[in-house]
């Protein structure tokens, strides 16, 4: 079964960096758009459409950011759990090897 299921904690770390980059990019895009006011663009109809887009974009990007942050927390938690299991397993295996080599030497 161990051959069927493998977890690469380094890959989980890279995935976390990617998710954090997504949040950073969303924030930068929102910041850039906040400086553009609809009244700078042109006609009143276009200005209204831009204002509407700004509101939808703000709401959508905030929701996306929350979802990305929730996924990030889950991945962090899983990564930490896998690392703790690996460390505990290594410790037990090292202790078993030490105990086995010690018993063999006393016979």
CB atoms within 10 A of CB 36: 10
State pTM to two decimals: 0.61
* Residue 1, pLDDT score: 46
Query: Does the residue 71 lie in any domain?
Result: yes
Residue 1 lies in a domain: no
CATH number at residue 71: 1.10.287
- Asked whether residue 20 is domain-assigned, the answer is yes
**Do the domain assignments include residue 38?**
yes
- The structure tokens listed for 60 are 């959508």
Residues contacting residue 39 through CB under 8 Å, at least 6 positions apart = 47
In a domain, 4, yes or no: no
In a domain, 3, yes or no: no
56 lies in some domain: yes
Residue 62: give the domain boundaries: 10-106
pLDDT in tens, 63-88: 888 999 899 999 999 999 999 999 99
Q: If DSSP codes are grouped into helix, strand and coil, which group holds residue 63?
A: helix
In this structure, how many other beta carbons lie within 10 angstroms of the beta carbon of residue 12? 16
The domain tally of the chain equals 1
Alpha helix positions (H), 35-43: none
Q: Is residue 34 part of a domain?
A: yes
Q: What is the pLDDT of residues 43-59, one digit of tens each?
A: 778 777 777 877 887 88
Q: Buried (b) or exposed (e) across 57-68, using 16+ Cβ within 10 A?
A: eeeebeeebeeb
């Amino acid at each position: 079964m161990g051959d069927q299921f493998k977890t690469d904690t380094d890959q989980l770390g890279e995935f976390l960096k990617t998710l954090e980059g997504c949040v950073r990019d969303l924030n930068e895009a929102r910041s850039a758009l906040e400086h553009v006011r609809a009244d700078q663009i042109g006609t009143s109809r276009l200005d209204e459409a831009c204002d509407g887009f700004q509101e939808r974009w703000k709401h959508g990007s905030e929701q996306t950011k929350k979802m990305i942050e929730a996924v990030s927390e889950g991945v962090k938690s899983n990564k930490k759990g896998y690392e703790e299991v690996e460390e505990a397993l290594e410790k037990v295996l090292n202790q078993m090897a030490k105990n086995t080599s010690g018993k063999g030497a006393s016979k």
